[in-house]
Amino acid sequence: MKLIESLKWRYATKRFDDSRRISTEDLGTLMEATNLAASSFGLQPYRVLVVEDPAVKEQLREASYNQPQLTECSHVFVFAAKRDMSPEYIDSYVDRVAEVRNVPRENLDGYAEYMKGSVAGKDLESVTTWNQRQAYIGLGTLLAAAAEMGIDTCPMEGFDVAAYDRILGLEAQGLTATVIAPAGYRSPEDATQDHTKVRFPVEEMFTTV
């Protein structure tokens, strides 16, 4: 399968070729693929900022312990989870379901109440953590899609969350930075690309019950 070969090809790129840019068309494909990622109830409780401004990327590099990927890459995907899950947000999602599937909104009232009930008993920290887990599913979809397209990525958690939230104005949007993925094209100088991929054997990783 081409997917398997693409996943074998990808690695966490440490140095990008700063002279190469992701095309507008390919960037759109990456966004669409990420938007199609699975999420619990389909709620997509996170948003993705795609940073291309050099000045902003420089600020993010400083907030990422000066890791070079932030300024050398073409774009930085910042997955920002919602800090809450309000009834209004759920209602807006259900409204969209009714519109897209062309069904009466009242037919979905029970579904809406079920979703609201599933989060009603959770404290804010638990809800935020749940939202962050959904963002990681989006990240995984981005990494696989990029690999299929021959685009390099580097999933990263090593950054100052508070600084990211401030630089990108996330708190005012009810969001918090969760995980990032610089994307672009590997530099010939990145020796990491020559490292053999190391994974546990499939027989050890998986158990059939």
Evaluate whether residue 193 is within a structural domain: yes
From the list 162, 171, 172, 175, the residue with the least C-alpha distance to 85 is 175
**For the domain that residue 130 is a member of, what is the CATH number?**
3.40.109.10
pTM of the model: 0.96
Of the chain, the percentage scoring pLDDT greater than 70 comes to 100
pLDDT at residue 1 tops 70: no
- How many structural domains is the chain composed of? 1
Q: At 21, is the pLDDT very low, low, confident or very high (cuts 50, 70, 90)? A: very high
How far apart CA 173 and CA 167 sit, in angstroms, is 13
Alpha helices in 43-160 (DSSP H): 54-62, 69-72, 87-101, 109-120, 124-148
Domain that holds residue 11: 2-84+124-205
Which token pair is 90?
């759920």
What is residue 83's three-state secondary structure?
coil
First to last CA, the chain: 26
Evaluate whether residue 97 is within a structural domain: no
Evaluate whether residue 115 is within a structural domain: no
Evaluate whether residue 154 is within a structural domain: yes
Evaluate whether residue 119 is within a structural domain: no
Q: According to the model, what pLDDT value does residue 184 have?
A: 98
Give whole-number Cα distances, 160 to 58, 177, 180, 198, in Å.
14, 9, 11, 29
Q: What is the pLDDT of residues 65-118, one digit of tens each?
A: 999 999 999 999 999 999 999 999 999 999 999 999 999 999 999 999 999 999
Which token pair is 65?
């312990």
> Averaged over 196-205, what is the pLDDT?
97
Give whole-number Cα distances, 104 to 92, 98, 109, 192, in Å.
14, 6, 10, 54
How far apart CA 144 and CA 154 sit, in angstroms, is 12
> Averaged over 124-146, what is the pLDDT?
98
Check residue 195 and report its DSSP letter: S
Handedness of CA 78, 142, 201, 187 (dihedral sign): negative
Contact 192/14 with Cβ under 8 angstroms?
A: yes
H/E segment holding residue 75: strand 75-82
Q: Position 43: which residue type? A: L
Which token pair is 17?
């070729």
Evaluate whether residue 148 is within a structural domain: yes
Evaluate whether residue 190 is within a structural domain: yes
**What does pLDDT average to over the chain?**
97
Q: Position 75: which residue type? A: H
Handedness of CA 38, 41, 43, 47 (dihedral sign): negative
> Averaged over 195-202, what is the pLDDT?
97
Evaluate whether residue 45 is within a structural domain: yes
How far apart CA 168 and CA 171 sit, in angstroms, is 9
